[in-house]
Structure 1
Amino acid sequence: MSLNTADEVEYEALPSNAGLGVNMAAGALAGISEHAVMFPVDMIKTRMQVFATSPSAVYSGIGNAFTRISSTEGMRAMWRGVSSVILGAGPAHAVHFGTYEAVKELTGGNRMGNQWLSTSLAGAAATIASDALMNPFDVIKQRMQVHKSEFRSVWTCATTVYRNEGLNAFYVSYPTTLMMTVPFTAVQFTVYEQLKKLMNPTGEYSPVTHVIAGGLAGGVAAGVTTPLDVAKTLLQTKGSSQDPEIRRCRGIADACRIILRRDGLKGFARGLSPRVLTFMPSNALCWLSYEFFKALIRE
C-alpha cells in the first residue's frame, strides 16, 4: 500500500471517527497479532506467578523458565492455551477499540489540545466492555498454561471447569481484572496519546512513533498494575491448585492476604519482568497494527 500519492488518504490524517466497523475490525486484527506473538513470554509470566507446590515448577527468571520448560515439556508447551487467546482476543479487542474510539469522540477527545481526561475515560470504558467478554477465555488460557496442566484443548478445559466449578469460575477474577485493567488502560492510552503528540506533533505517517509510544505506554502500565495481576492469576488458577487454602480463596482480599503472608510484599512483584517484557513489544505491535489496519480498511 503506497502512502505517497496525493490521491491516497494520509495514515495519520484519517478522520478519528472513521467508523465503528473500521475501528472494531482494526482492533480485532491488532489484538490477535499482539497476543499470538508474545504468548510464550505470557506463559512464563503465569508460571512464575502461581504458588507452586512442586519445586520443579519454581523458576528463578525468564531464561531459567524458558530453558526448563522447553527442555522438559517441549517447545509446544510454550504455546499451550494460545487458541483460547486467539478465539477471545479478536472479539474482545474489536469491542475494546470500538468502545474507545466511540467514547473518545463522544467526550470530545478528538478535539485539538490535551484531552487527557477524555482519553482516560475512553480507555476505562473500553476495558470494562472488553474484559467482560475476554475474562472466561483468560481463565481457560491460564488453566492450560500452568505446570502439569491436564488440559490440551479449549473445549475440554471450558467444559471441565464449568462442570466442576460452575459459571462463577470464569468470572471470579472479573472484579480483580477490572481493578487492574481499568487503571492499566487509562495509563496506557494516556501515555500513548501524549507521547504520540509529543513525538509526532505534525500528525504525519510515522510507524516508529506508534512503536515507541505504544511500547513505553505498555511497559509503564504493566509495571504499575503487576500486583493486581498476581492476585488475578491466583484467582483464575485456584481450581487447578492442590493447596486447600488457595482453592478456598473467594476474591481479591483473600488473594492479597495469601500473597502477603506467604511471600511478603515482594510476592506482589511475581512475574514483573516477563509481564513488562510481554507488554512492551506486544503493545508496540498492537498500536502499530491497529493504526495500520485502520488505515488499510478505511482506504
Structure 2
Amino acid sequence: MNILSFEMTEIEEDHDYESLPANSSLTANLIAGALAGIGEHTIMYPVDSIKTRMQIINPTPQAVYTGVANAFSRIYTTEGVRTLWRGVNSVVLGAGPAHALYFGTYEVCKDFFGANIGEGHHPIAHGAAGACATIASDALMNPFDVIKQRMQVHGSTHKNVLACARSVYTREGLIAFYVSYPTTLTMTIPFQMFQFSSYEYFRKVLNPRGSYDPKTHMIAGGLAGAIAAAATTPLDVAKTLLQTRGNSSDPRVRNCSGLLEAFRIIYERNGPRGFVRGLKPRVLSHMPSTAICWSMYEYFKWFITKQDRPDKLHHLQ
C-alpha cells in the first residue's frame, strides 16, 4: 500500500461526521435541524394534543379524562381521529425554521463554550449551548405554539392556522402570542439543559468513538427526552394555562398574566397534583419524539456532510 492509498484509507475510516469543514457545517446543521424538528413534532402530535387537554384548568365535562388511553378513546369516538391532528399545520410551519435556528445555534455555541475540546464530558458547556439555542428558537416558535394549543383544546372552532391567528390577534392583541414566552423560557432552558447534557453524556457512554450510530442516538435521545420532560412538567402546566387562557370561561384564568399567578391558580384549583397534570402523556410524547429528533438530526447531518468526503479524497489525488 503506497502513502497516498494509506492516507485515503485513513480519512475514510477515521472521518468523524461531527468534525465538519468550516464552510459547510452550519448549513448542514440548519438543514438537519429543520428536518428533525418537523419529524419530531408531527409524528407524536396526537399525544401532544392529549397532553394539552389534560392540563387545562376547569375543563368542560366533556373534556375530563382519567388517563391517556381514556382521552384517546373518547376523542376518537366522539370527535373523530382528525381532531387529534388539529393545529399540526402550525407546528409544521414553525418547527422547521425554529429547529434550524435551534440546532445551528447549539452547534456554534457548543464550539464557542469549548464542548468540542478533549475527549471527556462537558455537561456545563453542553447545557449552556442548549440554553442559548432555546432562547433563540423559542422567540420564533412561541406564536406558532400558542396557535397550536388554541386549536387543540376541546370545542375549538378555528378552521385553520390563519383563522386562529387572526382571531387571537383581534381579540387579545399581539401580546397573546408572547405572554407565555418568559414562562416558556423558564421551562425550556432547564429542559434543554437537561436534554443536551443527558444526550451528550449517554451518547459518549454508549458510543465513545463518536461515530454515526443510529441505535446510540435513538437510546440517548429517548432517555434525555424522558428525563427533561419529567423534570419540567410543572412549568409546562403553567405554560399551557397562559397559552390557552383566551379559551377559558374563568375570568381569573383569562386575565392571568404571568408564571407566579399561574402557579397560584393551579395550586388553588388542583393542589400539588395540579403541577403534574399531563405528566404521563408528556413523557410518552417527549421520549420517542426526542429520540426521533436526535436520530433524524444526526442522520441528516451525517448524510449531508458525507458529500464532503469525495472532495477531500480528490484534493489528495
Fold conserved (TM > 0.5)?
yes
What does residue 204 of structure 1 align with? 211
Which deviates further from its counterpart, 9-18 or 104-113? 9-18
Structure 1 segment 7-86 matched on structure 2, within 5 A: 12-15=16-19, 19-86=25-92
Distance 1:241 1:109, change over 3 A: same
Cα separation, 1, equivalents of 2:290 and 2:273: 26
Q: Which among 160, 164, 169 is matched to residue 167 of structure 2?
A: 160
Cα separation, 2, equivalents of 1:103 and 1:279: 24
Cα separation, 1, equivalents of 2:254 and 2:196: 35
Tell me, yes or no, if structure 1 residue 88 matches structure 2 residue 97: no
Deviations 1:27-79 (A, max 9, x none): 00000000000000000000000023421111000000000001000000010
- Residue identity in the other structure for 2:225: G
Task: Extract unaligned runs of 5+ from structure 1.
Answer: none
CA contact (8 A) 2:16 2:210 kept: yes
Identity %: 59
Deviations 1:146-173 (A, max 9, x none): 0000112000000110011000000000
- Residue identity in the other structure for 2:43: V
Tell me, yes or no, if structure 1 residue 226 matches structure 2 residue 233: yes
CA contact (8 A) 2:222 2:287 kept: yes
Distance 1:190 1:161, change over 3 A: same
Cα separation, 2, equivalents of 1:91 and 1:116: 26
Cα separation, 1, equivalents of 2:176 and 2:139: 13
Tell me, yes or no, if structure 1 residue 282 matches structure 2 residue 289: yes
Distance 1:164 1:11, change over 3 A: farther
Tell me, yes or no, if structure 1 residue 268 matches structure 2 residue 275: yes
Q: Which among 188, 206, 210 is matched to residue 195 of structure 2?
A: 188
CA contact (8 A) 2:212 2:298 kept: no
Q: CA deviation at 1:8?
A: 5.6
Cα separation, 1, equivalents of 2:156 and 2:295: 34
Cα separation, 2, equivalents of 1:89 and 1:156: 19
Cα separation, 1, equivalents of 2:296 and 2:16: 13
Give RMSD over aligned pairs: 1.5
Equivalent residue of 1:109, what SS? Answer: coil
CA contact (8 A) 1:53 1:242 kept: no
Cα separation, 2, equivalents of 1:203 and 1:124: 23
Cα separation, 2, equivalents of 1:66 and 1:148: 16
CA contact (8 A) 1:249 1:255 kept: yes
CA contact (8 A) 1:11 1:295 kept: no
Cα separation, 2, equivalents of 1:8 and 1:263: 59
CA contact (8 A) 1:230 1:270 kept: yes
Cα separation, 1, equivalents of 2:234 and 2:68: 18
Deviations 1:203-226 (A, max 9, x none): 233111000000000000000000
Cα separation, 2, equivalents of 1:154 and 1:205: 38
Cα separation, 1, equivalents of 2:235 and 2:159: 27
Whichever of the two has the greater Rg, that structure is 2
- Residue identity in the other structure for 1:203: G
